[in-house]
A and B are shown apart, each in its own frame.
Chain A
Amino acid sequence: MSTAAQRSPLPIKLLTNGFLIFWLILAAFPFLWTLWGSFKVEGDFFSKANWANAIFGRLTVEETGGSFTGDGYYGAWIQEEFWRAAMNSTILCFCVVTISLTCGTLGGYALSRSTYRYAFWFLFFALIFRAMPPITLVSGYLLPFYEWNLWGHLYTTVIVLVAINQPFTLWMLHSFFKNIPKDLDESAMVDGCTRFQAFRHVIIPVMWPGVITTGLFSFLLAYNDFAVTAMLLSEENQTMIPKINSFLGTTQTKGNVMFAVAAVVSVTAPLFVMVMVFQRQIVSGLTAGAVKG
């Protein structure tokens, strides 16, 4: 692939690689700093006295005796039972991704195959719906959800997250399906398949790459959501991000910031594995789709 790029002259190669290294430092430096700091005590992590303390950990040595401490991790995972939140997040993300993609592929496929104006208006309104600030939406849900006993459950939040992210999913999948040639399913229909059979037997086998890419983004949206999960989940169903927020303290009381830091660092590990496993599909996925806007 990209044979042209490999033939590029040395100065350009240096320039692009230099730029890439610069970007990677920019992107990863705060994370690496956090990773390093997560093994220190709070006084060092937020070293107001001198930033070099964050590297050498003066207070960490003073308070714990060693230059590294796992207290943040112990506190978050064992004392505060962060694993519960991690489990809830796993269930939530899995359900959101599955349902989002199921609804999204059906809708996105239909939108890409319809030539009527109403399909455009459908997409248009989906986009306008997305403009609604989520905090307003969520505060509107509260009363009816309490009234009908829907509040606090994981499944309610799953459905809400699916619904809120549906416009994004639809737009992305719609662009993807537009790039699968129409001849493919239309010839199947000429052979006597119904629209749904054509979709099942012809489109589904070729759509995975694009679906996986969209899935990654719906996963990240659900995984990082705070506005919805903080308001709609009861304490035992709490997911990771609201849990991390609860480590940060309130106006009148101090929190355990290092628990939050340790929690954030430890949940990036599974993400690394995920990105490594799926990166090929991500690329080939978007390759086939999303290219035509």
Chain B
Amino acid sequence: MKMWNTAILGTAMAVLTTTTALADGHGCAIDAGRVSIIGNEFPAIQTIGATAGECAGIEFSSNLTADHQTLNVAGMTGNPAEYTTAIVANSSIVALINEDVIRPLDDLIAEYGQDIPARQLITVNGQVMAVAFMANAQHLVYRADVLEEAGVAVPTSYEEMLAGAEAIRAAGIMEYPLGGAYAAGWNLAQEFNNMYIGHGGEFFEPGTANVSINNEQGIATLEMMKALSEYMNPDFLTHDSNATSAEWEAGNVAMMNMWGSRIGNLMDDEGSEEVVYSNTVVGGPLMVGDSGVPATTLWWDGWTVAKNISDEDAAATFQAMAHAVAPTTLNEETMGQAVWLMDGYTPAPVNEGVLASVAAGSRPYPMVPYQGLLHSALGDNIADFMQGNESAEQTLADIEAAYTSAATEQGFLQ
């Protein structure tokens, strides 16, 4: 992490040197082999896919779709696998590792990947399993004009955010000054994760799959979420990150915790009035309690190589993907698509939040085989508490019971 910080500082100054590398975007020739990509669908990944496809001499195909997570395991299980590479995040790589469908990359790095900076390599048990190319995190976004009008300082913690929200409401500026992607399901569970990590909680008993969230931190987490929701639009349980962003653009929200990758759209001049977009400012991650860990998670997106393919295809895939995440991919158009990890990336103001989250020592989203099961269990059960239908203890007990039944079925618990 330290490495990356220095790298960013370094590249911010050294960026001019790399722009000269635009000479040959197609500087990728591979002898032979098949490259087939499966991944999510958003502009940064489309750039990666398109750049990999530029390579000469390969048989190339790509399938970028929102359903990639359902397709990738099935498509990589057969022999030979349909997909030679899957683009994944730190949450979704565990499913591929669990099913044993991706291969370690160390030998390929030794042969073809000397140029890939060490910070981009993701290792599991000492073996490189993926190469990351972009980072993301949730962090504070605020309306500078509203905070100023209400005399509220930019919050650094959720406690300050609550006080600020009260001040804005008391000043009569907004009835519901807070926003947040609290839609029941994945989004709400993610907010729980953030807040629980911020309270210094551990999801599992160390070294086992036994869940342990029914504790003080768990209760404090739920109560903080409930307190925040008092200052949110009453419909908050139906607001996913799309709807929350729309609320923001409509000028209805003064502070929220939002994905770094969405800030660009909030700060551009489309979709909102001038007073909204020109006063939209990113802050760092928020703290909660006194654990010293920010209440957010860090995310990376990276590519893997399938296990059940020939060595030739693996080599071709590695080379094409390495070409796609080389500094030459960055140009005026692609620079703003993500917080890239390659050398030569210059962060724009919209990306400061993600970088600040990294700098503040935030924890990554846990790469644990059974984290996804807990995430689903959280998403299904928290809404009951948020609506005031049951106590925090009952909700946490329900979550633990739901997780335990799922983890038993998956063989993680006996």
Touch A–B, Cβ below 8 Å: yes
- List residues of A whose CB falls within 8 A of some B CB: 41-43, 46-49, 59, 62-63, 139, 142-143, 146-147, 151-152, 230-231, 234-235, 242, 245-246, 248-255
B270-A254 in contact (CB<8A):
no
Other A-B pairs beyond A252-B259, A255-B242, 13, CB < 8 Å: A43-B270, A139-B70, A146-B74, A147-B78, A231-B71, A234-B63, A246-B41, A251-B259, A252-B241, A252-B262, A252-B299, A254-B242, A254-B265
- The docked-state distance in angstroms from the alpha carbon of A248 to that of B241 is 12
B385 within 8 A of A: no
Contact assessment for B252 and A254 in the assembled complex, using a CB-CB cutoff below 8 Å: no
B56 at interface (Cβ–Cβ under 8 A)? no
- List, sorted by A's number, 21 A–B pairs whose CB atoms are closer than 8 Å: A41-B271, A43-B272, A46-B246, A48-B247, A48-B252, A143-B74, A146-B82, A230-B67, A231-B71, A234-B63, A235-B65, A248-B242, A252-B136, A252-B241, A252-B259, A252-B262, A252-B299, A253-B42, A253-B43, A253-B261, A254-B262
Which residue in chain B gives the minimum CB-CB distance to A251? B241
Contacts of A230 in B (CB 8 A): 65, 67
B381 — which chain A residues lie within 8 A by C-beta?
Answer: none
- Residue in chain A with minimal CB distance to B274: A62
B187 near A251 (CB under 8 angstroms)?
yes
Given A151-B82, A251-B241, A254-B265, A43-B62 contact (CB < 8 Å): no
**Bound state CA distance, A47 and B249, in angstroms?**
10
Residues of A within 8 A of B265 (CB): 254
Central interface residue in B71, B247, B265, by most chain A CB within 10 Å: B71
Per the 8 Å Cβ criterion, residues 74-118 of B in contact with A are 74-75, 77-78, 82
B273 contacts chain A at the CB level, 8 A cutoff: yes
The residues of B that contact A143 with a CB separation of less than 8 Å are 74, 77-78
Assembly CA distance A123 to B299 (angstroms): 52
Instruction: Report Cα–Cα, A182/B408, bound state, in Å.
Output: 59
Residues of A within 8 A of B246 (CB): 46, 48
- Report how far A42 CA is from B269 CA in the complex, Å: 12
Q: Which chain A residue lies CB-closest to B181? A: A251
Provide the bound-state CA to CA distance between A48 and B245, in Å.
11
Inter-chain contacts of A49 with B (CB < 8 A): 250-252
Tell me if B's interface is mostly helix, strand, loop or mixed: mixed
CB distance from B64 to the nearest CB of A (A): 6
Closest 6 CB pairs of A and B: A48-B250, A142-B74, A253-B42, A43-B271, A254-B265, A147-B78
A41:B270 contact, CB within 8 angstroms = yes
Q: Which residue of B lies closest to A152 (CB)?
A: B63
B357 part of interface (Cβ distance < 8 Å): no
Residue of B43, B71, B82, B249 near A43 (CB, 8 A) is B249
Q: Which residue of A lies closest to B249 (CB)?
A: A43
- Per the bound structure, the CA–CA distance linking A147 and B42 in Å amounts to 28
Q: How far is A108 from B259 in the complex, measured between Cα atoms in Å?
A: 54
With both chains docked as a complex, state the minimum distance between the C-beta of A260 and any C-beta of chain B, in angstroms. 12
Interface residues of B in 144-164 (CB under 8 A from A): none
A230 CA to B269 CA, complexed, in Å = 33
CB distance from B337 to the nearest CB of A (A): 9
Specify which of B78, B261, B271, B299 is in contact with A59 (CB 8 Å cutoff): B271
Nearest residue (CB) in A for B42 is A253
Q: CA A143 – CA B99 in complex, angstroms?
A: 13
Do the beta carbons of A142 and B71 come within 8 Å of each other?
A: yes
Which chain B residues border A246 with CB–CB below 8 Å? 41, 65-66
User: Which partner residue on chain A sits nearest B81 by CB separation?
Assistant: A146
Q: Are A242 and B65 in contact (CB under 8 A)?
A: yes
- Contact yes or no, B42 A250, CB < 8 A: yes
Kindly state the separation between the CA atoms of A41 and B64 in the bound complex, as whole angstroms.
Answer: 26
